[in-house]
A and B are shown apart, each in its own frame.
Chain A
């Protein structure tokens, strides 16, 4: 029943996008996010948006992810944008682009026009916010679809390494992230099985009186917490037994070096965005 939950979804593949290092993809995504937000201040300059869109679409095509699947995952966001856009179009103040006269209202001999004023600012912000939301959502979806959760966590750990110099617990954080990620699928599976077991016994989580539903949820929470505590205990005992501790600077077992493609993208993409931002 939880199999449709979009957590830890990874679509295995052998494409160039899959083979990029996780940290390359992370850095590029963060860079593009920043670039998109800064480009927002540059009225009616579409360069950065076009570049980001083109890059992400190229990545979708290369990774062979079905556009229909992506669209389905983006349905809710598209709906939110569709609902929100008219309001930001109407209610953003600034230089008038066009005034729509709808009708007039007569009150006590006074004639009041009913009109909608659309400003240049309204147009630009509506477009950029829709574009930023869609592009970033697509980007993060692509990241998790083409990167295993473990590779992603290792990427984060590697990116946080410089924080060691500030005596921040980068390695502890890394271990915590990896351990937590490791247990997400296990807990989900356990929750799924528990839901099925309790539903088989007549539990009900979606219908019935509030009392019955609260009781239904309790039949899940108690065993889940119990299982999680037991597992955490087992894990800490296993780590203790192996003498595991965060001492000194941990290294990764398979620390993949950045390859030519990673370096190329890390140089070309920022260069292009800067060029588009300042020159066009």
Chain B
């Protein structure tokens, strides 16, 4: 499902002394089947934006269409339920939303609320757990979610959203607070969901290496306004604009732009006259990657702007 946002503005608590404009005149289109990243510093309006995608928030002004559903103040009833099922939203630190006594009951909550019962429900729960690379046997289903590790709990929460079989999955800071291993498992899981189930992914993040790893389209927000938009190589090549949004370009893009700056990669000539030796490039890479060494397994998949 494509998401089309047109001149969207949103004001929190309008008409009170606490009124605050969170989004200003944002227009963007997320095509079907892509992995889009919405990046920005804390308070830039990225969470506010994605909460419009499944109708949790309604535009103050402007229009937003998700598939063929227009998200307006009047949207409700069956159409809203359908939208919430089609667009799964996983909030920040989703492990905090687990409430049921067993993993199975927690994952089953969503589909059960949407009318699934019996064998179909059990099959759906098992499918969801398998999609996030968790065991789907009876012993695991009967475990308490509070007895799992942090990374596992987060994937149970993800399974709880996936069990609705959404066409679009919106993830707010999916890897915040996870250790490197849990993060890599999560990334692998998201990549698989996209390739196998054709999910459209929308990732909200301020971690640029995560964005570079997963996303092919990037939208950068700052102060509630859309500052940059385009494919990830185009956006990450605009180093100054990214820094102006308060963000750090991803390590590899940063390394390459620094290399370019120091004349190490001024086209083919640099390689010909030998200024770009493998040693200097390796040194630059190492220093840039030092901040996030966990990105290494994904380095091969990262595309770089030119």
Contact = CB atoms under 8 A, between A and B. Distances in A.
Interface stretch (B30-38, B81-89, B183-191, B249-257): B81-89
Nearest to A230: B96
A218 B16 contact: no
B99 A218 contact: yes
A197 B84 CA distance: 11
Nearest to A68: B15
Nearest to A201: B110
Query: Could you say which of B15, B17, B81, B146 has the most chain A C-beta atoms within 10 Å of its C-beta?
Result: B17
A200 B99 contact: no
Interface string A194-237: 10111111111000000010000011111100110000000000
B13 A201 contact: no
A225 B164 CA distance: 26
Contacts of B51: 196
B164 A223 contact: no
A72 interface: yes
* Chain A residues touching B, range: 20 to 34
Contacts of B81: 202
Nearest to B160: A201
B96 A219 contact: no
B161 A201 contact: yes
A140 B99 CA distance: 38
A4 B13 CA distance: 6
A194 B110 contact: no
A9 interface: yes
B164 to A, nearest CB: 7
A138 interface: no
Interface of B: 12-13, 15-18, 51, 54, 56, 81, 84-85, 88-89, 91-92, 94, 96-100, 109-111, 113-114, 146, 160-161, 164
29 contacts: A3-B13, A9-B17, A9-B18, A66-B17, A194-B97, A196-B56, A197-B94, A198-B97, A198-B99, A199-B84, A200-B54, A200-B56, A200-B88, A202-B81, A202-B84, A202-B85, A202-B111, A202-B114, A204-B113, A218-B99, A219-B97, A219-B99, A221-B99, A222-B99, A222-B100, A223-B96, A223-B97, A226-B96, A226-B146
Interface of A: 1, 3-4, 9, 11-12, 65-66, 68-69, 72, 145, 190, 193-194, 196-204, 212, 218-223, 226-227
Q: Which 10 A-B pairs have the closest CB atoms?
A: A11-B17, A202-B113, A201-B110, A222-B99, A200-B89, A197-B97, A197-B91, A219-B99, A202-B110, A196-B56
